[in-house]
């Protein structure tokens, strides 16, 4: 019995050495070798450390934001689903890989039966029994042309793609939490600005009411002043709603409520983020998990072609077992009770109305689709980084100009207020100065939020947000064996 099983294993190893998987060739990256140049872009600096290797704790300086990201990584449901998908695809790969080896099983059975006299040929009723014990292999396919190994390779690549999908989900989650937090902070700043401005508008309105009562201010002045007050109240209700909705959206990303011990956040004017250099476009091919995921799926499609090719060739399956059978349990393993079975089966496709050819064509088309998706992923990554680099340079210029505009409006407001109070100018000039200052201050907060979110998105586009601390990447690189 043991010799037959050993012979079967040796034959399997000898025969299963062929693979029909096409040689994998990585498609050429459809992007430029350098980032775009021009007035909208700053000169590119050499990266001492790639953005993907900069931990999010080093990139985000706000302690409140750091705690929120940590909470989200522990509780977010999308990230939890991505992790469970990895376990599911790992199990599928293990199932498919198990097909490479024969499944050996041991079976035992026993039965006793009494038959009546009229159905027994001997004419007398009796009791009969049968007991058996076998050890064998059932319907094991000899992988002569690599069909099973191709399917196993496909399952492996899909499992590896799920690992990259989880990394991509985490990177997106870190960026989403950061953007949601910054939006929340900006709306709170806009709410505070609106409350302060409404108070100033109400004071101005009361002053106009008193002036109207003594005949100094006209009905038009009073109406204009009231319009400013009511407009500020509209803005107040709007920002109160946005702040509440921002908090709810942030809680959804966290997967739980906001921490009760959340520290006070830094203001939008503080140094909230580190600036990361872009490096080279070719770095994206190794840094962006969505690109790596697309390449693993391309490799899986390539392996599936090997399985489709192997289906054209004969397949051989083996069933073999050895054991013992006896009418009595006590004699099950006595001499002369041994049994064995060897049952090979070959399947040779002769006519299938083009089904196999269609399956092969389908697998090739699926690979072509995967190539296009891989190339599109690269192009999208290149565009996202290029947009981020353009935003970095232009937002710096825009913010400086907006700060100068706020300063100019503050001077205009101070002069208009003084001239109005001493009776040199009308109330309309003062109201215009108030509105202009309020609008400029709102635009400054909005532009600062846009700058911060563009930097967060650039960090994400470069593959940052996977590591918690920068020194983890350095330690990993130091511990890696040298080739």
**For 184-225, how does the pLDDT look when each residue is reduced to its tens digit (9 = 90+)?**
999 999 999 999 999 988 888 888 787 777 776 677 778 888
Q: Rounded distance, CA 144 to CA 10, Å?
A: 13
pLDDT band at 183 (very low <50, low <70, confident <90, very high): very high
Q: Rounded distance, CA 429 to CA 432, Å?
A: 5
Q: Report which of residues 224 and 372 the model is more confident about.
A: 372
pLDDT at 99: 81
pLDDT at 179: 96
What is the average per-residue pLDDT within 105-133? 71
- Picking from 180, 177, 164, the residue whose alpha carbon sits closest to that of residue 72 is 177
Task: Report how far apart, in Å, the C-alpha atoms of 192 and of each of 18, 123, 200, 241, 243 are.
Answer: 72, 106, 13, 13, 11
The Cβ of residue 310 has, within 10 Å, a number of other Cβ atoms equal to 22
Q: What is the mean pLDDT of the chain?
A: 85
pLDDT band at 7 (very low <50, low <70, confident <90, very high): low
SS3 278: coil
Render the burial of 242-273: b for 16+ CB within 10 Å, e for the rest: bbeebeeebeebbbeeeeeeeeebeebeeebb
Percent of the chain with pLDDT over 70: 90
State pTM to two decimals: 0.84
Q: Rounded distance, CA 294 to CA 274, Å?
A: 29
- Picking from 301, 361, 349, 8, the residue whose alpha carbon sits closest to that of residue 150 is 301
pLDDT band at 71 (very low <50, low <70, confident <90, very high): very high
- Picking from 459, 325, 330, the residue whose alpha carbon sits closest to that of residue 389 is 459
* Contact by Cβ (8 Å): 51, 277: yes
Q: Rounded distance, CA 10 to CA 40, Å?
A: 67
User: Angle, nearest 10°, between helix axes 63-75 and 147-213?
Assistant: 140
Percent of the chain with pLDDT over 90: 50
User: Where are the domains positioned within the chain?
Assistant: 22-101+145-312+357-472
pLDDT at 4: 47
Going across the sheet that includes 104-115, the strands are 104-115, 126-142, 315-326, 338-347
Residue 164 has pLDDT above 90, yes or no: yes
Residue 445 has pLDDT above 50, yes or no: yes
Backbone angles phi, psi at 340, to 5 degrees: -150, 160
- Picking from 174, 188, 185, 175, the residue whose alpha carbon sits closest to that of residue 71 is 174
pLDDT digit string, tens, across residues 347-363: 888 888 889 999 999 99
Q: Among the residues of 255-332, which ranges form H helices?
A: 284-287, 289-310
pLDDT band at 119 (very low <50, low <70, confident <90, very high): low
pLDDT band at 421 (very low <50, low <70, confident <90, very high): confident
Taking the alpha carbons at both ends of the chain, their separation in whole angstroms is 46
Burial of 240 (0-12, 13-18, 19+ CB in 10 A): middle
Q: Tokens standing for 53? A: 């290797």
Q: Tokens standing for 201? A: 């508008």
pLDDT digit string, tens, across residues 263-298: 888 999 999 999 888 888 888 888 899 999 999 999
Q: Report which of residues 471 and 351 the model is more confident about.
A: 351
CATH number attached to the domain at 22-101+145-312+357-472: 1.20.1600.10
* Contact by Cβ (8 Å): 164, 290: yes
pLDDT at 281: 87
Q: Among the residues of 76-146, which ranges form H helices?
A: 77-98
* Contact by Cβ (8 Å): 229, 205: yes
Q: Indicate the length of the chain as a whole number.
A: 483
pLDDT at 8: 45
Residue 44 has pLDDT above 50, yes or no: yes
């Amino acid at each position: 019995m043991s010799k037959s099983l050993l012979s079967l294993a040796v034959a399997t190893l000898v025969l299963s050495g062929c693979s029909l998987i096409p040689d994998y060739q990585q498609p050429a990256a459809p992007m430029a070798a350098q980032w775009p140049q021009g007035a909208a872009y700053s000169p590119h600096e050499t990266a001492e450390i790639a953005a993907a290797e900069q931990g999010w704790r080093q990139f985000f300086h706000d302690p409140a934001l750091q705690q929120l990201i940590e909470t989200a990584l522990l509780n977010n449901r999308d990230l939890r689903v991505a992790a469970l998908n990895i376990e599911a695809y790992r199990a599928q790969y293990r199932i498919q890989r198990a097909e490479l080896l024969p499944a050996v099983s041991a079976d035992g059975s026993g039965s006793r039966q009494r038959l009546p006299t009229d159905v027994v040929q001997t004419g007398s009723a009796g009791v009969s029994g049968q007991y058996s014990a076998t050890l064998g292999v059932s319907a094991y396919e000899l992988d002569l042309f690599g069909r099973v190994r191709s399917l196993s390779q496909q399952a492996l690549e899909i499992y590896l793609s799920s690992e990259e999908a989880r990394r991509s989900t985490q990177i997106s989650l870190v960026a989403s939490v950061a953007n949601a937090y910054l939006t929340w902070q900006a709306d709170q700043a806009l709410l505070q600005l609106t409350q302060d401005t409404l108070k100033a508008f109400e004071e101005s309105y009361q002053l106009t009411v008193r002036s109207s009562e003594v005949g100094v201010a006209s009905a038009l002045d009073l109406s204009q002043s009231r319009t400013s007050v009511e407009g500020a109240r509209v803005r107040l209700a709007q920002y109160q709603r946005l702040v509440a909705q921002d908090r709810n959206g942030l809680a959804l990303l966290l997967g739980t409520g906001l921490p009760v011990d959340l520290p006070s956040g830094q203001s939008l004017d503080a140094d909230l983020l580190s600036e990361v250099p872009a490096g080279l476009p070719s770095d994206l091919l190794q840094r962006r998990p969505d690109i790596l995921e697309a390449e693993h799926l391309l490799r899986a499609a390539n392996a599936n072609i090997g399985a489709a090719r192997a289906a054209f060739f004969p397949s051989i399956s083996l069933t073999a077992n050895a054991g013992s059978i006896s009418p009595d349990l006590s004699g099950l393993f006595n001499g002369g009770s041994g049994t064995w079975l060897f049952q090979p089966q070959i399947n040779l496709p002769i006519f299938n109305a083009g089904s196999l050819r269609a399956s092969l064509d389908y697998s090739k088309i699926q690979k072509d689709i995967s190539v296009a998706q891989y190339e599109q992923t690269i192009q999208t990554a290149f565009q996202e980084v290029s947009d981020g680099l353009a935003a970095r340079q232009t937002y710096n210029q825009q913010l400086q100009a907006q700060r100068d505009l706020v300063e100019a409006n503050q001077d205009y407001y101070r002069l208009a207020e003084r001239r109005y109070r001493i009776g040199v100018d009308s109330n309309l000039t003062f109201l215009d100065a108030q509105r202009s200052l309020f609008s400029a201050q709102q635009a400054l907060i909005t532009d600062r939020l846009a700058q911060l979110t563009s930097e967060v998105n650039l960090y994400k586009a470069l593959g940052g947000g996977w590591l918690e601390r920068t020194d983890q990447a350095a330690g990993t690189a130091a511990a890696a064996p040298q080739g």
